[in-house]
Amino acid sequence: MSEENIFCPTCRGRGVRYDYTNSTMHIMPCPNKECRLAAQERSKKEIKRIKNELSKQWEVQHEEVTKVV
């Protein structure tokens, strides 16, 4: 399965499935190993992107504060 074309019938490429019992919802990992691994890889990339953006914003704010002082 390629990363951009994952359509698992269980999780539809999300890497997790939802199990509803009465009034509770459980998030379960997909039984398909390829889907789980692809979803984990996408999550790692997204977390890295968010951390980079936050560090850039922090640097800009820090520079503005040091200019004022």
Digitized pLDDT (tens) for each residue of the chain, 69 residues in all: 444 555 688 887 788 888 887 788 888 888 888 888 888 999 999 999 999 999 999 988 887 767 765
Q: What is the pTM of this model?
A: 0.59
Q: Is 23 strand, coil or helix?
A: coil
pLDDT value at position 69?
58
d(CA 38, CA 7): 11
CA angle 14, 20, 24 (to 5 degrees): 115
pLDDT value at position 5?
52
d(CA 24, CA 18): 10
d(CA 45, CA 19): 27
Residue ranges covered by each domain of the chain: 3-68
